[in-house]
Structure 1
Amino acid sequence: MQQVQAVVARAKGEPVELTTINVPDPGPGEAVVKIQACGVCHTDLHYREGGINDDFPFLLGHEASGTVESVGEGVTEVAPGDFVVLNWRAVCGECRACKRGEHKYCFATHNAEQKMTLEDGTELSPALGIGAFAEKTLVAAGQCTKVDPEARPAAVGLLGCGVMAGIGAAINTGAATRGRSVAVIGCGGVGVAAVAGAALAGSSPVIAVDIDAKKLEAAKANGATHTVDSSQVDPVEEIKRICAETYEGAEGADVVIEAVGRPETWKQAFYARDLAGVLVLVGVPTPDMTVPDLPLIDVFGRGGALKSSWYGDCLPSRDFPMLTDLYTSGRLDLDAFVSEEIGIGDVEAAFAKMHDGSVLRSVVIL
């Protein structure tokens, strides 16, 4: 066992604390990773606010890259010294989804068996089974995905959650490609990543919708061909107008990605689709939210598909190395998502910046 500094949320709504934790030596199937960079994600704030569950205290942080320090018995997929991006979906290989070859839908993903603790022995709940606002963390070896060690840690670490969720929502879930139009409602980190994914896939037009001018500028810088300020115009009608300019007869976008997670914007996304269009929900709603009232004939008559995108329907072992290679070759600008680099003691301040739209991602550098 070793002791390291880490960021812990002890109680609902209280400021996070930088404190000492105990990290066990890796057991069978586990790895200890020395963290190099970790993005500050809205999900970490949800944990602190009790929006995920009430298993306090939480060890926050999950959007991370680092170097494998040690591995436990039976680990073959990674070795000490490997540069990895952490994922929160170590696939089991044995469930019904894995057995039919759909590992990205694994129904039995897992984390480390042992628990990290506070100095007094209190067990910690690591965010998304990772807990990477820490100098070192313990994970299941399957949560470690090897990528190009020449890649910038602060940039590729973001593939561990938000950037992958957005790109995957566009490419994996929505099947954005050449000849298809895409609209993204909500341009935080995940929404801008969805814009980047649609642009990478060759979709056109790529329409970004938000009420914040700074977020719309970030979307434009990452591939949006059009921006829509939904505080000034009806976003549904504007999406329809833009798409009809490109494709004669279009009644909306082929793929509409809702990256907010609210009933109002989900309903906008539903009606902003073209006939047979796809709606992708990647924004995370709260448990009390419900699907808005819709005439069932509209659900039937418009056709298409209503989908949810969980982690961008990604398979980390396939997608992380591929996206890292696109980054290192200059085809995917992950650096654009790193708004600032901060210290491990600055997480609480980074949470505050989320509310003013001034950052896509603050990234803790260790």
Structure 2
Amino acid sequence: MAHKVQAVVVREKNAPASIETILVPDPGPGEALVDILTCGVCHTDLHYKQGGISDDYPFLLGHEATGVVSAVGDNVTEVAPGDRVILNWRAVCGECRACRRGEAQYCFNTHNATQKMTLEDGTELSPALGIGAFAEKTLVAAGQCTKVDPAADAAAVGLLGCGVMAGIGAAINTGNVRRGDSVAVIGCGGVGSAAIAGAKLAGATTIIAVDIDDRKLEATRKLGATHTVNSKDQDAVEAIQALTDGNGANVVIDAVGRPETYKQAFYARDLAGTVVLVGVPTPDMVLELPLLDVFGRGGSLKSSWYGDCLPSRDFPMLVSHYQQGNLDLDAFVTERITLDQVEAAFDKMHDGSVLRSVVEL
């Protein structure tokens, strides 16, 4: 049978997000039906709305979610009805060349539900990142569900489903930040702030936050930043070098994703240091660097996809750190809203007043 539920849909490019009745089928083989508890409002959802991901409208928005499994299809062993889960968009296949070489965090064939959710007239929906969680229920591949402790605050831990995991993982997985390292993070929105929290969790002792917004910089101090740099007022590279004995940071994370900020990251790292790009560039951006500088400075230039995470490994571990007080996920929840406030939450992204608005259902 199909379940009629309320959900947030965008029908065409730049159209307002609207509340619609959608039809969600019962799970088939390998699928899970999930009752959504919370879902964060992420920039990726805004990119879908604006046509920056694809033009496969209408989109069912939302993907940073927690929920409770209400039903599973045949051949599902990972989760069972009643399980509290965080949804993810890296349901690894176990069979592709990345999985076969033991690097499932780079899986090239992640799974989504086979069946389609639809509008009442039968129009098929494209769920954001294969999830579509601004809805009372959603249908996903069972591998997109990671079981976690139900005692943890759903609104906080659900943010591990995308942006917060991307930032933390950029530090601990991609950047391999170690105890005693110096780390600089350029861009202190949700992902950059999470990278700062990740650097603290990994044991970095000098953590430098760089942004042009003093409000964001002040907020990073609560997450672990030991120093802040407003790059409107001072040169970011010079400031980072000055705070690291003239050497540059061991790891510099670009959470903006522009040629200008990447160059800052490149020149602000120590010799043989690491640059991590986790901010997402647009297709038109081009980077130019002297090849001799790339050679002469050594080290590593890395890109971080979803924080190079494995949800089955990283989500429970980070939830445990949250419950022990080592990771302040509550700090990322700026406001708790309802489904009909999603469009207004998109507007708040532009003024820098929120890290995350979280829909509670």
Give the TM-score category using the shorter length: over 0.9
Counterpart position of 1:247: none
> How high is the TM-score relative to the length of structure 1?
0.98
* Aligned residue number for residue 254 of structure 1: 250
2:16 corresponds to: 15
2:316 counterpart of 1:321: yes
Distance, in Å, in 2 between the alignment partners of 1:69 and 1:29 is 14
2:227 corresponds to: 226
Structure 1 gap segments, 5+ residues each: 245-249
Aligned-partner Cα distance in 1 for 2:259–2:42: 22
Q: How far apart in 2 are the matches of 1:111 and 1:72?
A: 14
Separation (CA, whole Å) in 2 of partners of 1:273 and 1:343? 42
Shift of 1:34: 0.3
1:310 aligns with 2:305: yes
Amino acid at match of 1:215: K
Amino acid at match of 1:231: K
RMSD (Å), alpha carbons: 0.7
Q: Deviations over 1:328-354 (max 9, x none)?
A: 111111000000000010000000001
1:56 paired with 2:57, answer yes
What is the alpha-carbon distance in structure 2 between the residues aligned to residue 289 and residue 121 of structure 1? 39
Give the match's secondary structure for 1:243: coil
TM-fit CA distance, 1:105: 1.3
Residues paired across the two proteins, number: 360
Residues 104-123 of structure 1: pairs in structure 2 closer than 5 A: 104-123=105-124
Return the alpha-carbon distance in structure 2 between the equivalents of residues 113 and 82 of structure 1.
21
Q: Could you tell me which residue of structure 2 aligns to residue 268 of structure 1?
A: 264
**Pairing of 1:20-169 with structure 2 (within 5 A):** 20-169=21-170
The offset of 1:226, in angstroms, is: 0.3
Q: Deviations over 1:83-103 (max 9, x none)?
A: 000000100011111112111
Distance in 1 between residues matched to 2:120 and 2:218, nearest whole Å: 45
Q: Secondary structure at the match of 1:51?
A: coil
Residue 234 of structure 1: how far off its partner (Å): 0.2
Amino acid of the residue matched to residue 352 of structure 1?
Answer: D
Counterpart residue type for residue 92 of structure 2: V
* Residues 22-31 or 94-103, more deviating: 94-103
Task: Tell me, in whole angstroms, the C-alpha distance in 1 between the residues paired with 2:340 and 2:321.
Answer: 32
Cα distance in structure 1, aligned partners of 2:165 and 2:256: 16
CA-CA distance at 1:179 after TM superposition: 2.2
1:296 aligns with 2:291: yes
2:353 alignment partner, one of 339, 346, 358:
358
Query: What's 2:336 paired with?
Result: 341
- Percent of aligned pairs sharing the same letter: 75
**Cα offset for 1:31?**
0.3
Please give the alpha-carbon distance, in whole angstroms, between the structure 2 residues aligned to 1:201 and 1:164. 14
Q: Which residue of 2 aligns with 1:330?
A: 325
What is the identity, as a one-letter code, of the residue corresponding to 2:280? V
The 2-side partners of 1:141 and 1:168 are apart by 23
Distance 2:333 2:356 in 1: 5
**TM-score, scaled relative to structure 2:** 0.99
Distance 1:317 1:324 in 2: 12
CA-CA distance at 1:182 after TM superposition: 0.3
